[in-house]
Structure 1
Amino acid sequence: MSDADRIVEFVYEVGQLKRLPRAGWLFAGVQHPETVAAHSFRVGVLAYAIAVQEGANPDRAATLGLFHDVPETRIGDIPYVGKLYVDVKVAPEQVARDQVRHLPPRLAEHVVQLVAEHEAAKDLDHTPEARCSRDADKIELLLQAREYQATGVGKMELFMQTMRASVVTDTGKALMEAAHRIAPTEWWEAFGRR
């Protein structure tokens, strides 16, 4: 098998994230929740913006955000309530290591490092880019909750409030406050007012 064949196999696996729904939204009554891939895309964009504002490397932060949920192709998107009952002994970076074991070694190590760096933001040993990516992950959840709330889905307040304590960067905190103030439809309603 060629390197190209192995990369294509990996990308097919990553493509599963386009079909994997974010499970936590199902508990809130969202009938057709966003996918993990849709979430990861906006995390990457947010991580980039936060990193620019925080003086971190935006390309690195965006890449962390883009890759942070790749292990979910194998373990699924386990919502918080499920994590209380599932004894997961395998760290996301180990899942990533298994996922990439057939990739060219240099590429494989990059993917594992991305997942591990994002996960390290949960601890004290983290990079500024991991902190930006982790904040982006939390803020994206807040934005999505606001969007669902705007379409009439109830029970979003809990999702929106749980993010407050998780966001640590000054930019992330400012974005979080703005997301609570600004309606999700503001960006396009402004066109009608012009």
Structure 2
Amino acid sequence: MDNLEPKEVLKFLSCVNDLKHLPRRGWIDNNISNHETISGHMYAMGLMTFLLGNDSKLDRLKCLQLALVHDLAESIVGDITPADNIPVDEKHRREDEAMIDITSHIGDSGKFIYSLYKEYEAKQTPEAKFVKDLDMFDLLFTAFNYEKRDKEPNKCQLFFDAVAEKVQNPFVQKLVSEINEQRKIIANETVSGESV
């Protein structure tokens, strides 16, 4: 750390700090009020890595690290959503350039963060695949909570349609199934006039 230039470290930390205030665009596009920020999403994913027991074959620390850096590029490029109609390869190009910029300020630590980002993007390692499942699960869990909070069952169905079937990890699949069961109960209660 002693060889890091404080001015450069502050540039890196400014990018990280921006994520505390940048909303996740999907919620805005779908008229969800009082929604989470990008860093709130990353924090939730980070906490979910603690669900991995000591007997897990996955490296919990690596999963935590991947969760904490996977959306860091959004501090520069913003939260690009399908509604933006930006081709996937262009989205990845922009995010890669942003990550090179962000991580260039902190030497070897930056190189490590960039390597984590590339691992997540490649989704080849078991840890990266698991963290991608957490990414999708957090979207569904958050959508479910907004539906309950706003007393609007199935308002966020498009998110479930987009990602629920893509989850691969068996435990995360069980969590998604449980959310779907609870959504059905709430929707039935609403139709029958019971309070949610």
Pick the TM interval, shorter chain: 0.7 to 0.9
Q: Does 1:143 align with 2:146?
A: no
Q: Quick one: which amino acid aligns to residue 44 of structure 2? A: R
2:8 to 6, 9, 16: 6
Q: CA deviation at 1:74?
A: 0.6
Q: CA deviation at 1:182?
A: 4.7
Spell out, residue by residue over 1:38-95, the C-alpha distance to the aligned partner (whole angstroms, 9 max, x if none): 0010111223425767520011101101110000011000122214578436153332
- TM-score normalised to structure 2 length: 0.81
- Matched residue SS, 2:137: helix
In the alignment, what sits opposite 1:56?
A: 58
Q: CA deviation at 1:161?
A: 2.9
Q: How many angstroms apart in 1 are the aligned matches of 2:92 and 2:138?
A: 27
- Counterparts of residues 13-92 of structure 1 (less than 5 Å): 13-50=15-52, 54-84=56-86, 87-88=90-91, 90=93, 92=95
Relative distance call for 1:169 and 1:50 in structure 2 (3 A) is farther
Judge which range, 70-79 or 49-58, deviates more: 49-58
CA contact (8 A) 2:140 2:164 kept: no
Judge which range, 84-93 or 67-76, deviates more: 84-93
Deviation beyond 4 Å, 4+ runs, structure 1: 50-54, 84-87
Q: CA deviation at 1:6?
A: 2.0
- TM-score normalised to structure 1 length: 0.81
- Counterparts of residues 40-189 of structure 1 (less than 5 Å): 40-50=42-52, 54-84=56-86, 87-88=90-91, 90=93, 92-104=95-107, 106-121=108-123, 126-152=124-150, 154=152, 155-182=155-182
The count of residues paired between Structure 1 and Structure 2 equals 178
CA contact (8 A) 2:21 2:37 kept: yes
Unaligned runs of 5+ in 2: 184-196
Q: CA deviation at 1:153?
A: 6.1
